[in-house]
Amino acid sequence: MLDMKRIRENPDAIREGIKARGQPADLVDELVAFDRDRRTLLTEVERLKNERNTVSLEIGARKKQGEDTSAAQAAMRQLGSRIAALDARVRDLDEQLQAKIIVIPNMPHSSAPVGPGESANVTVRSWGAPREFEFEPKGHTELGEALGILDLARASKMSGAGFPLFVGLGARLERALINFMLDLHVREHDYIEVWPPVLCHSPSMTGTGQLPKLATDMYRLADEDLWLIPTAEVPVTNYFRDEIIEQPLPIYLTAYSVCFRKEAGAAGRETRGIIRVHQFDKVEMVKFVEPGTSCDELESLTRNAEDVLQRLGLVYRVRMLGAGDLSFAAAKCYDLELWAPGKKAWLEVSSCSNFEDFQARRAGIRFRDKKGKVRFVHTLNGSGVALPRLVVAILENGQQADGSVTLPPAIVPYMGGIDRIAPAGGLIR
């Protein structure tokens, strides 16, 4: 959420920012008009309340003297109904204002390139060289099913299309990767581990910016105000919702969680395999930092995510998103994309974003600066990293001519010493 004062004082800059995202900016003018009306009414009703407070106090004093105050009481009763009417109008304007301001996206950071959609995205660096294959590399679905570690047919029997089912060493690989990533962030990157709820209510979803815009992309329980989280960003960022953080910043939190997404707008895209699924595992990193430091913190957050990929020896590139491709709440974002040689495509496994004070304002997350003044923190988060696509890259990169898959050395200790998955036929341990 943007500061209303900022919109009031720089409407042109706000309009520019929204247009850079490729969205219509007419809401800004409505907002400015509503805000002006609200302040006029507010000034008026506050004047009347001051009068009521003063006179009511006098009435009390005069009654003690035994005076007749019925005339004054009648006048105040009338004033009271005027106040009630004005209060109702102010509240109405407040609600409309809130409904409008909550759907205005964050302003793109000045360093984010401008251009429609994905057109302005740029590769800022890349790591590793794609492996040369002496045979035609297979896709992860074929590999996984042949190895008996991925069973999409049975998954759909349980839950319908779009759900992963890992079996045997596939399930173990999933668990090993989660542990590997959490250990890395906790032991070497100074994050504190959190194991959060995967159902969150509307205030939390609004706090991080999933609501109201993404309501149709999320699963919701039928009888309660609870949603299945699309990312651990939601519960972990809301850790400090409506709080003034009393401990020193920055604070780094990391969490594994399962994530749920309807992918409603993605019908027909990536339907085969586990590249786009309704449920997936992810390790998330979240930062709460002082405003002046958030740019640098985004760089180190991104390096933390890259570290996962480098230790696994996977080829990747870092893309800086243009304004047109930024998510609703982000001011700046780097995507990490893994090379998948079977699919011959780059797969997004992490989005590292700086939200500046946009989420903090919605969620009421504040701190005291050096002068003791209460201010909004800046929040950041990034995947560190998302699992299904990571598994895709590991399978496709590690595949051998005989159909087996060699695992990255870094994960072998987490696999109990197993460094290779070979086809065995049937259910195997």
Partner RNA sequence: GGAAGGGUGGCGGAGCGGUCUAUCGCGCCGGUCUUGAAAACCGGAGUCCCGCAAGGGACCGGGGGUUCGAAUCCCUCCCCUUCCGCCA
Which residues would be at the binding site for RNA (CB under 7 A)? 4-5, 39, 42-43, 46-47, 49-50, 52-57, 59-60, 63, 73, 76-77, 80, 84, 91, 244, 246, 366, 372-374
- What is d(CA 255, CA 320) in angstroms, rounded to the nearest whole number? 24
Nearer to RNA, 370 or 429 (CB): 370
For residue 200, what are the β-bridge partners? 227
Question: Omega before 236 cis (within 30°)?
Answer: no
- What is d(CA 405, CA 253) in angstroms, rounded to the nearest whole number? 33
Distance of CA 272 to the CA centre of its chain: 26
CB 244, min distance to RNA, A: 5
Torsion of CA 236, 242, 244, 245, to 10 degrees: -10
Nearer to RNA, 270 or 290 (CB): 290
Nearer to RNA, 47 or 429 (CB): 47
Contact indicator for 258, 281 with CB cutoff of 8 Å: yes
Nearer to RNA, 47 or 187 (CB): 47
CB 78, min distance to RNA, A: 9
Contact indicator for 120, 324 with CB cutoff of 8 Å: yes
CB 73, min distance to RNA, A: 4
CB 206, min distance to RNA, A: 15
CB 258, min distance to RNA, A: 16
Nearer to RNA, 91 or 125 (CB): 91
Secondary structure letter of residue 240 according to DSSP: G
Contact indicator for 285, 162 with CB cutoff of 8 Å: no
Q: Any residues with CB less than 8 A from the CB of 159 and at least 6 apart, and which?
A: 278
Nearer to RNA, 78 or 271 (CB): 78
Q: If you write DSSP's letter for every residue of 28-92 in order, what string do you get?
A: HHHHHHHHHHHHHHHHHHHHHHHHHHHHHHHHHHHHHTT---HHHHHHHHHHHHHHHHHHHHHHH
Secondary structure letter of residue 21 according to DSSP: T
Identify the residue whose tokens are 């800004």: 28
CB 361, min distance to RNA, A: 10
CB 42, min distance to RNA, A: 5
- What is d(CA 45, CA 42) in angstroms, rounded to the nearest whole number? 5
CB 223, min distance to RNA, A: 10
CB 363, min distance to RNA, A: 14
Nearer to RNA, 153 or 374 (CB): 374
Nearer to RNA, 197 or 408 (CB): 197
Nearer to RNA, 30 or 188 (CB): 30
Backbone angles phi, psi at 157, to 5 degrees: -65, -35
